[in-house]
């Protein structure tokens, strides 16, 4: 009987893992230079952590279970809520802003398709404790810098929910109703939106203002903001949004679209929101999304604003051309009589270079063939004559050049 991997999961073999680690290392190098510290949260959490954030409807998308203590648990479907829970449990006394990042696997029970799996990886950041436009600008600039670092040109769309929230507040104070309106906008289901608003007896003038808002979009961000003011007046949030756009230009982020129709579809987002799209992914073209939000109060903390984003690492890998890092490899060619010496020499060299020794009892010719098959950069021949003379034969497998070196020179070569 053959047991297959679960649906929606993948096996990553060494070559693919080398590519993934190369991309991961570039993302880590950027975010650490911006002063963000890594956090790791449990793979499973209490189910309530996610239903508090997203409602009971999310349970159908989760890998949830009852543990042996009869507690309702779930594998994490995302990482923002766990990080906010960790803040409430462990970090409320920390100086603000708190700048965190994570790179972990998540789990969702949904139909697998291109760029969408039941087990997937998310690279994200959370900046906790600042409601200023400076925080929004840094987070967006950081996301775009990370995406650029792996050779991807993302199409950045920035919105601000204050305008839609202002209009929706004139319709209802019920969160369930406002959430449904935002979902229709997020999915661009405008006919369903109109029907829903009509059922709520919303005036034609207010429906028209909502339509004008979601269609406000353009490369000139300040012109788009002026258009928003024409709909709702001079909201203070729009002044902060304009300052954030000015700050973005200082970061060198100038190629974007301001789009007031970006809704993110989740009720905890409060102000600036953004999404990044990339070509080559079909319908699942979003590679990054985020914005400012309030979640901490839901989990027992104060009224603390955060700004963050999540990068879909698997979608990045679909279109990223960064090659795997291939460090130099030396294959040791030994005989049974020189095996012990070979192991000792390998131990000396391994602090400087990858070293492989024969584990199959192959003869000299077979060891050479194996070294060639695996793409070793060098073979180091350790025979009885080499040991007697103190000169080891090092062959460059690409050029075919062979030189004799003593152990000290050999160590120096790979230092």
Q: Is 122 annotated as a binding residue?
A: yes
Give the per-residue pLDDT at 267. 63
Give the per-residue pLDDT at 178. 80
Q: How far apart are CA 367 and CA 373, in angstroms?
A: 10
Average pLDDT over residues 318-344: 91
Average pLDDT over residues 169-194: 83
Nearest to 10 by CA among 120, 103, 88: 120
Instruction: Pull the structure tokens for residue 278.
Output: 């990339």
Q: How far apart are CA 173 and CA 152, in angstroms?
A: 41
pLDDT in tens, 13-69: 999 999 999 999 999 999 999 999 999 999 999 999 999 877 787 899 999 999 999
Give the per-residue pLDDT at 262. 83
Higher pLDDT, 87 or 187: 87
Sequence-separated (6 or more) residues with CB below 8 Å from residue 104:
40, 41, 43, 76, 79, 121, 122
Q: Is 307 annotated as a binding residue?
A: no
pLDDT in tens, 129-138: 999 999 999 9
pLDDT in tens, 293-310: 989 998 989 899 999 999
Give the per-residue pLDDT at 116. 79
Give the per-residue pLDDT at 280. 75
Q: Is 80 annotated as a binding residue?
A: yes
Give the per-residue pLDDT at 99. 98
Q: Is 79 annotated as a binding residue?
A: yes
- CATH 3.40.50.800 boundaries in the chain: 329-413
Give the per-residue pLDDT at 377. 96
Q: How far apart are CA 381 and CA 353, in angstroms?
A: 16
The answer for 375, left when phi > 0, alpha when psi is -120 to 50, beta otherwise, is left
The lowest-confidence range among 19-33, 138-152, 277-291, 342-356 is 277-291
Average pLDDT over residues 265-276: 82
Q: Is the pLDDT of residue 101 over 70?
A: yes
Q: How far apart are CA 48 and CA 70, in angstroms?
A: 14
Give the per-residue pLDDT at 115. 66
Higher pLDDT, 267 or 45: 45
Q: Is the pLDDT of residue 265 over 60?
A: no
Give the per-residue pLDDT at 317. 94
Nearest to 23 by CA among 313, 387, 414: 313
Give the per-residue pLDDT at 274. 96
Confidence of residue 198 (pLDDT cuts 50, 70, 90): confident
Could you count the other beta carbons within 10 Å of the beta carbon of residue 100? 22
Give the per-residue pLDDT at 266. 58
In CATH terms, the fold of domain 329-413 is: Rossmann fold (3.40.50)
Helix axes 190-199, 204-214, angle to 10 degrees: 150
Q: What percent of the chain has pLDDT over 90?
A: 71
Give the per-residue pLDDT at 29. 97
pLDDT in tens, 208-233: 888 888 888 899 999 999 999 998 88
Q: Is 270 annotated as a binding residue?
A: no
Q: Is the pLDDT of residue 155 over 60?
A: yes
Q: 233: burial class by Cβ within 10 Å (0-12, 13-18, 19+)?
A: exposed
In CATH terms, the fold of domain 14-319 is: BirA Bifunctional Protein; domain 2 (3.30.930)
Q: Are strands 269-277 and 286-293 parallel, antiparallel or unpaired?
A: antiparallel
Phi, psi of 303 (to 5 degrees): -85, 75
pLDDT in tens, 359-412: 999 999 999 999 999 999 999 999 999 999 999 999 999 999 999 999 999 999
- CATH 3.30.930.10 boundaries in the chain: 14-319
Q: Tell me the longest C-alpha to C-alpha distance in the chain.
A: 97
């Amino acid at each position: 009987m053959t047991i297959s991997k679960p649906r929606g999961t993948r096996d990553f073999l060494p070559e693919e893992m080398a590519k993934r680690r190369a991309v991961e290392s570039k993302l880590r190098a950027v975010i650490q230079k911006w002063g963000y510290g890594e956090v790791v949260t449990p793979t499973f959490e209490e189910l309530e952590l996610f239903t508090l954030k997203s409602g009971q409807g999310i349970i159908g998308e989760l890998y949830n279970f009852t543990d042996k203590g009869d507690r309702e648990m779930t594998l994490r479907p995302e990482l923002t809520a766990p990080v906010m829970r960790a803040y409430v449990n462990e970090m409320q006394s920390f100086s603000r802003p708190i700048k965190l990042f994570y790179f972990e696997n998540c789990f969702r029970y949904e139909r697998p398709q291109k760029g969408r799996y039941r087990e997937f990886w998310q690279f994200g950041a959370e900046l906790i404790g600042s409601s200023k436009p400076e925080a929004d600008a840094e987070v967006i600039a950081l996301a775009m810098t990370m995406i650029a670092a792996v050779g991807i040109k993302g199409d950045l769309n920035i919105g601000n929910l204050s305008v839609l929230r202002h209009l929706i507040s004139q319709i209802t104070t019920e969160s369930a109703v406002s959430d449904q309106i935002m979902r229709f906008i997020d999915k661009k289901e405008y006919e369903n939106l109109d029907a829903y608003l009509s059922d709520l007896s919303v005036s034609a003038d207010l429906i028209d203002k909502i339509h004008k808002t979601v269609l406000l979009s353009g490369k000139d961000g300040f012109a788009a903001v002026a258009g928003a003011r024409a709909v709702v007046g001079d909201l203070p949030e729009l002044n902060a949004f304009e300052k954030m756009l000015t700050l973005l230009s200082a970061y060198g982020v100038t190629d974007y679209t301001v789009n007031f129709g970006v809704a993110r579809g989740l009720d905890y987002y409060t102000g600036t929101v953004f999404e990044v799209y990339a070509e080559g992914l079909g319908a699942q073209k979003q590679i990054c999304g985020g914005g400012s939000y309030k979640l901490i109060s839901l989990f027992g903390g104060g009224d603390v604003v955060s700004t963050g984003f999540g990068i879909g690492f698997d979608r990045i890998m679909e279109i990223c051309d960064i090659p795997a890092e291939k460090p130099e490899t030396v294959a040791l060619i030994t005989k049974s009589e020189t095996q012990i010496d070979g192991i000792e020499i390998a131990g000396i060299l391994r602090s400087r270079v990858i070293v492989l020794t024969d584990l199959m009892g192959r003869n000299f010719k077979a060891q050479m063939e194996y070294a060639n098959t695996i793409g070793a950069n060098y073979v180091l021949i350790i025979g009885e004559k080499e040991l007697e003379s103190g000169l080891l034969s090092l062959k460059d497998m690409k050029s075919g050049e062979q030189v004799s070196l003593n152990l000290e020179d050999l160590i120096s070569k790979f230092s």
